[in-house]
Amino acid sequence: MRTLVALSFLLLLAPAVSAGPFEDSDQYKTHLEFLGYTVTETEKALLAKHPSHFNIYVRTYQGGILINSIFGTSAKGKKDRIGLLTFLNDMNRGSVAARYYVDKDDDVIIEGWFPGTYDKSRFSVFLDKYNLTAQQLRNSDIAKALLE
């Protein structure tokens, strides 16, 4: 009985474990919600949807977080693989906070890595640059033809 009481006492003194899917996820979630995203937690990540920005998937990766947006490739994009890859290379050339690539399922991924732990100012700048890059994609007639 003494062991049970001692164990219970130690558990009460232990620091609270984050309820979110990864360390600092509650801070990222609060930040995204402040910016108008609707955020859903999954087992390992945050899924954030926004009425005027691309939806993003946020998870930990290599000492920071990885944010990505996924797009299907249109029939034209699947048929014109060289045109699609040339377009993505051009997008990568002008990108500041993201990279573009095609995955094994022919989906186009926009991905950005934010190093370290949450910091309000740095994450704000990062997300602004990520959304600016995504906006360039949205405004592209080529993207409209190649992506779904």
CATH at residue 54: 3.30.1460.10
- Residues 138-143: what's their mean pLDDT? 85
- Extract the tokens encoding 23: 């360390």
Q: Is residue 107 part of a domain?
A: yes
In a domain, 92, yes or no: yes
Distance CA 42, CA 89 (A): 32
pLDDT tens digits along 64-116: 999 999 989 999 989 999 999 999 999 898 887 789 999 988 899 999 999 99
Please give the pLDDT value at position 7: 38
Q: Per the domain annotation, does 9 fall within a domain?
A: no
Global pTM exceeds 0.75: yes
Rounded (10°) angle between helices 25-34 and 120-138: 60
Residue 35's domain spans which residues? 20-146
Number of domains present in the structure of the chain: 1
Do the domain assignments include residue 73?
A: yes
77 located within any domain: yes
Q: Tell me if 138 is assigned to some domain.
A: yes
CB 126 within 8 A of CB 117: no
